[in-house]
């Protein structure tokens, strides 16, 4: 029953009367008010918050001073005796508001950044404050002191949470230190003013009033402000190092951005030099880059140093070449005493050079110099190396991007050339009851040197040319375009087959470089007479299938290729043309060497024999199927895309 | 591609080893140009090492025929493999006066001594 009997209750519950209860209500109401006020302030700006606290404090002090002076003025109090307690209440209010503000502002500081443990500690702190509010009503005897001691420990623990200081720069720290010191003075002023507080409260109320709550928040504000002042003060000297580290990180991130965004070459170099100067604490520095023309290093960028000074330091010694060759930094601790730099009379004594290289390419080197000897430490050197590596990557990236754009542009150009070249070949070949022409062709590159054309200059007459300009790719393609022009002009002249070949040889000899030539097979077909007159000038043998005898004939007779003999003696080489009298159902297979010279993985060529058997196998097929069948067989044999341009032209007679 | 060489009293023997295509024929081209500069115009090409020849390779040979002839020299080809000989024949190079293809390597010297 113990605790519930009247005696026990009387022992613990002392009661503070209505005044104490009113005072508790006053404390609770203001705590809620101030707490709400500061909860709405979301921004976390240390100096602004400290400044705010200081202003509140100063405002309060002003109120206390004014009321104290007014109180002492006996004249006014004689007239208005009731003013004294009013003045006193105002002072108390100012004091409470200031310390509550400090609690809530420091709460924001302590919880920066928020952690679970800190929040728990904060709630315990609040628990103590509630306990302090209840103290006037409970008789705890010695426990009041114990509780105060525990609260002191808790305040000290909370005061250790000053991580916000680490994020301030030197100026901000200095300002925060000044403001915290002023706040400390304000706190001390309040503490002095509060000494007589209970006594005066007693006089006013006529009762013993208890203000443990005020003591508690004063203690906390004192501890946290003191702790902040000490930490700020001892942090000041190391701030510059942290600031430097953070600038280094920013430089790293800038160079990294350069890697991703392909900054301008000059920007990368500028960032690298700035970062290196800062990381090495160097007085001056420059960057040398290898030139494209002679591979020699030249000064690309210099800061706080003149070219003459650089030359004077280096003394003709090509340090860039050395660091690139060694792929390692080069450090001279004292230029005056180093053998390689004898005669150097510059004011600089320490030199550090770090190569700028990527995995594939060397770009140059970054140099930093200092007036003091032995002034570059390992940590400086490592930072400069890291910057140079990052810059190397950025440059590599920029180079790859440029190459990729150039390749893209080249591809586009080649695609245009390819489209254009396709237009040089006949789009639609004659396909009648009397005669059918079917062709299939492909180039090894976007553009090629194969050429064929069928013209129909007169009724019953068809002139066919198939040829191959030596070589592949662009040069061959250019000549192919010229060939097209020449042949079209010649077909208008109504030349016979021999004359055509001879004139074509003259024309091509005049326009082709000496290392180029052209193979050609030229035919004139008369569908009325059912004759073919043909000449083979160095071109692949033509196959002629005679349906009546079921024989495949290889037309090997011929002359030398065009533009090989570049004088009149070519005429002597042209023998009689080959004449064929054809029947319906016969067909001819003309092609370029991309067919017979297609090679498989073993290096074996498709050759003439495979082509012959392929044609014989397809002899009953339509002209379209014969062409497709030959190409299919060649591809199946080679098991790859064409290594050379190829063309197949089937002429089927009706 | 590699070119083996052998100097004789009236001519030089070049023996290209490998394929004579667009890339490798540059080496032969440079070597022949050097020989011409030094006045060596009788060139025997031992074809036993040529496994394959295509049009750029032929272009190199053709481009020097007239020049050698102008200076009283010539090409003599010997020991050509069947497929290489076939390429020469289809293009009609066997018709050139100053590009001689011999089947019997012992005939090479005779062709130069008569020139």
CB A430 within 8 A of CB A455: no
Question: Hey, which bits of A380-512 come out as E strands?
Answer: 435-442, 450-458, 461-469
- If you average pLDDT over each of A441-445, A469-473, A508-512, A626-630, which comes out highest? A626-630
- Asked if A514 lies within 8 A of B63 by C-beta distance, the reply is yes
Task: Report DSSP letters for A468-498, one per residue.
Answer: EESS-HHHHHHHHHHHHHHHHHHHTTT--HH
Confidence tier at B36 by pLDDT (50, 70, 90): very high
- Asked if A540 lies within 8 A of B90 by C-beta distance, the reply is yes
Torsion (CA) A19, A22, A27, A31 in degrees, nearest 10: 180
Instruction: Please state, in angstroms and rounded to a whole number, the distance separating the CA atoms of residues A632 and A610.
Output: 12
Chain A contact for B6 (CB, 8 A cutoff): no
- pTM, 2 dp: 0.55
Confidence tier at A16 by pLDDT (50, 70, 90): low
- Asked if A560 lies within 8 A of B54 by C-beta distance, the reply is no
Chain A contact for B93 (CB, 8 A cutoff): yes
Higher pLDDT, A576 or A97: A97
**pLDDT exceeds cutoff 70 at A205:** no
Reported as a single tens digit per residue, the pLDDT across A240-299 is 777 777 777 777 777 777 666 656 778 888 888 888 888 888 889 999 988 877 778 888
Peptide bond into A113 cis (omega under 30): yes
Chain A contact for B36 (CB, 8 A cutoff): no
Instruction: Please state, in angstroms and rounded to a whole number, the distance separating the CA atoms of residues A385 and A330.
Output: 11
Residues of B in contact with A597 (CB under 8 A): 54
User: How do strand A450-458 and strand A461-469 relate by DSSP bridges?
Assistant: antiparallel
Q: What are the residues whose beta carbons fall under 8 Å from the beta carbon of A257, sequence distance 6 or more?
A: A263
Which CA distances in Å does A267 have to A31, A61, A414, A568? 55, 56, 34, 65
- How many CB pairs (< 8 A) connect A and B? 61
Q: What are the residues whose beta carbons fall under 8 Å from the beta carbon of A461, sequence distance 6 or more?
A: A524, A525, A526, A527
- Give the closest of A517, A559, A644 to B62, CB-based: A517
- Asked if A470 lies within 8 A of B95 by C-beta distance, the reply is no
What is the Cβ-side half-sphere exposure of residue A490, based on CA atoms within 13 angstroms?
A: 26
Confidence tier at A528 by pLDDT (50, 70, 90): very high
Reported as a single tens digit per residue, the pLDDT across A343-392 is 777 888 899 999 998 877 888 999 999 988 888 888 788 888 888 888 88
Closest CA to A466 of A397, A367, A534, A385: A534
pLDDT value for A76: 58
Q: What are the residues whose beta carbons fall under 8 Å from the beta carbon of A471, sequence distance 6 or more?
A: A449, A516, B22, B55, B56, B59
Instruction: Please state, in angstroms and rounded to a whole number, the distance separating the CA atoms of residues B91 and A141.
Output: 123
pLDDT value for A313: 85
**pLDDT exceeds cutoff 60 at A10:** no
Reported as a single tens digit per residue, the pLDDT across B61-112 is 999 998 999 999 999 999 999 989 999 999 999 889 899 999 888 989 888 8
Residues of A in contact with B59 (CB under 8 A): 470-471, 515-517
- Give the closest of A471, A538, A565 to B59, CB-based: A471
Mapped onto helix, strand or coil, the DSSP state of residue A551 is strand
- Asked if B55 lies within 8 A of A605 by C-beta distance, the reply is no
Instruction: Please state, in angstroms and rounded to a whole number, the distance separating the CA atoms of residues A15 and A21.
Output: 9
Residues of B in contact with A566 (CB under 8 A): 66
Torsion (CA) A25, A148, A222, A153 in degrees, nearest 10: -130
* Residue B4, strand partner residues: B15
Per the prediction, chain A carries an average pLDDT of 85
Q: What is the 3-state secondary structure (H, E, C) of B23-76?
A: CCHHHHHHHHHHHHHCCCCEEEEEHHHEEEECHHHHHHHHHHHHHHHHCCCEEE
């Amino acid at each position: 029953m113990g605790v519930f009997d009247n005696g026990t209750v009387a022992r613990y519950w002392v009661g503070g009367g209505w005044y104490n209860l009113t005072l508790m209500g006053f404390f609770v109401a203001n705590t809620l008010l101030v707490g709400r006020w500061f909860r709405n302030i979301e921004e976390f700006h240390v100096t602004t918050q400290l400044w705010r606290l200081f202003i509140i404090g100063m405002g309060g002090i002003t109120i206390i001073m004014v009321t104290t002076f007014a109180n002492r003025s006996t004249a006014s109090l004689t007239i208005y005796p009731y003013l004294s307690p009013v003045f006193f209440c105002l002072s108390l209010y100012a004091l409470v508001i200031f310390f509550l503000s400090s609690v809530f502002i420091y709460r924001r500081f302590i919880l920066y950044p928020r952690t679970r443990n800190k929040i728990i500690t904060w709630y315990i702190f609040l628990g103590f404050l509630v306990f302090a509010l209840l103290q006037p009503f409970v008789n705890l005897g010695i426990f009041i002191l114990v509780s105060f001691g525990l609260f002191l420990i808790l305040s000290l623990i909370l005061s250790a949470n000053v991580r916000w200081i680490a994020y301030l720069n030197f100026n901000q720290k200095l300002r925060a230190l000044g403001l915290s010191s002023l706040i400390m003075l304000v706190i001390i002023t309040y503490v002095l003013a509060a000494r007589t507080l209970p006594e005066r409260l007693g006089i006013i109320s006529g009762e013993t009033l208890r203000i443990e709550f005020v003591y508690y928040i004063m203690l906390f504000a004192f501890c946290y402000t003191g702790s902040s002042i000490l930490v700020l003060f001892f942090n000041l000297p190391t701030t510059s190092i942290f600031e430097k580290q953070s600038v280094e990180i920013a430089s790293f991130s800038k160079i990294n951005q350069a890697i991703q965004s392909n900054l301008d070459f000059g920007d990368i170099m500028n960032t690298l030099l700035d970062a290196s100067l800062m990381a090495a604490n160097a007085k001056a520095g420059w960057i040398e880059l290898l030139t494209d023309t002679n591979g020699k290093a030249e000064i690309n960028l210099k800061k706080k140093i003149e070219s003459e000074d650089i030359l004077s330091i280096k003394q003709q010694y090509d340090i860039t070449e050395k660091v690139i060759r060694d792929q390692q930094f080069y450090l001279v601790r004292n230029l005056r005493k180093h053998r390689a730099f004898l005669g150097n009379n510059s004011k600089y004594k320490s030199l550090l050079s770090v190569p700028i290289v990527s995995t594939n390419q060397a770009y140059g080197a970054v140099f930093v110099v200092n007036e003091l000897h032995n002034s570059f430490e390992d940590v400086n050197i490592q930072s400069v190396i890291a910057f140079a590596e990052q810059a190397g990557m950025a440059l590599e990236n920029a180079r790859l991007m440029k190459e990729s754009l150039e390749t893209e542009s080249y591809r586009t150009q080649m695609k245009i050339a390819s489209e254009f070249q396709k237009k040089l070949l006949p789009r639609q070949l004659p396909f009648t009851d009397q005669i059918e022409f079917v062709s299939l062709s492909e180039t090894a590159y976007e553009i090629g040197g194969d050429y064929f054309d069928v013209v129909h200059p007169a009724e019953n007459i068809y002139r066919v040319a198939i040829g191959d300009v030596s070589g592949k790719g662009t040069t061959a393609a250019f000549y192919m375009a010229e060939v097209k022009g020449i042949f079209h002009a010649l077909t208008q002249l109504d030349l016979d087959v021999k004359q055509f070949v001879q004139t074509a040889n003259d024309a091509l000899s005049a326009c082709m470089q000496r290392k180029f030539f052209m193979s050609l097979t030229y035919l004139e077909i008369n569908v009325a007479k059912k004759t073919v007159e043909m000449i083979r000038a160095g071109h692949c043998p033509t196959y002629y299938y005679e349906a009546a005898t079921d024989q495949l004939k290889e037309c090997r007779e011929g002359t030398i290729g065009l533009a090989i003999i570049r004088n009149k003696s070519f005429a002597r080489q042209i023998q009689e043309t080959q004449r064929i009298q054809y029947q319906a159902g016969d067909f001819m297979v003309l092609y370029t060497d991309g067919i017979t010279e297609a090679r498989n993985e073993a290096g074996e060529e498709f050759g003439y024999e495979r082509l012959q058997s392929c044609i014989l196998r397809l002899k009953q097929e339509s002209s379209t199927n014969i062409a497709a069948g030959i190409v299919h067989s060649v591809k199946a044999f080679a098991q790859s895309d064409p290594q050379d341009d190829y063309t197949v032209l089937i002429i089927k007679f009706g | 591609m590699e070119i083996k060489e052998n100097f004789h009293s009236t001519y030089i023997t070049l023996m290209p080893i490998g394929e004579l295509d667009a890339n490798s024929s540059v080496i032969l081209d440079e070597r022949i140009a050097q020989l011409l500069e030094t006045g060596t115009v009788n060139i025997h090409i031992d074809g036993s090492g040529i496994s394959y020849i295509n049009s750029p390779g032929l272009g190199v040979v053709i481009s020097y025929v007239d020049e050698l002839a102008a200076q009283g020299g010539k090409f003599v080809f010997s020991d050509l493999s069947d497929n290489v000989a076939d390429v020469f024949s289809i293009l009609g190079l066997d018709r050139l006066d100053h590009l001689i293809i011999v089947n019997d390597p012992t005939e090479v010297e005779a062709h130069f001594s008569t020139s």
